[in-house]
Amino acid sequence: MNKVIATTKAPGAIGPYSQAIVANNMLFTSGQIPIDPATGNVVEGDVIAQAEQVCKNLQAVLEEAGTNFENVVKTTCFLADMGDFAAFNEVYAKYFVSKPARSCVAVKTLPKNVLCEVELTATI
């Protein structure tokens, strides 16, 4: 049976979905955007500031599920501007030191016009 993961240490879903689901000892997160869970507002600043908040939000979901960044096996990263790729990678590399598999794409628009979004899959 699937288990819904929810924590107040990461922003709540802004639509009809959960922060994450555990199925067969695997965690599947929804995309996290740079919303400060304390205020409900998008973190202002460049892609570095926003990527930091995204990673903090993912960390909170991972911890709620009983796992951590070392157990991440795959990420999908979305950037509003591929020109931010190098700056985004600076932040990403600090959190995903185990170097999981990854896809990174530029998209036309992200929710709330943020600069980046990341979803991941991890083992429990």
DSSP 32: B
- In sequence order, the 6+-apart residues with CB closer than 8 A to the CB of 111 are 14, 33, 117
116 is catalytic: no
Q: Which residue has the tokens 């896809």?
A: 103
Residue type, 83: G
CA of residue 45 relative to chain centroid, distance: 17
What are the tokens at 63? 């911890």
CB 116 within 8 A of CB 31: no
Provide the 10 A C-beta neighbour count for residue 115.
24
Known catalytic residues are 104
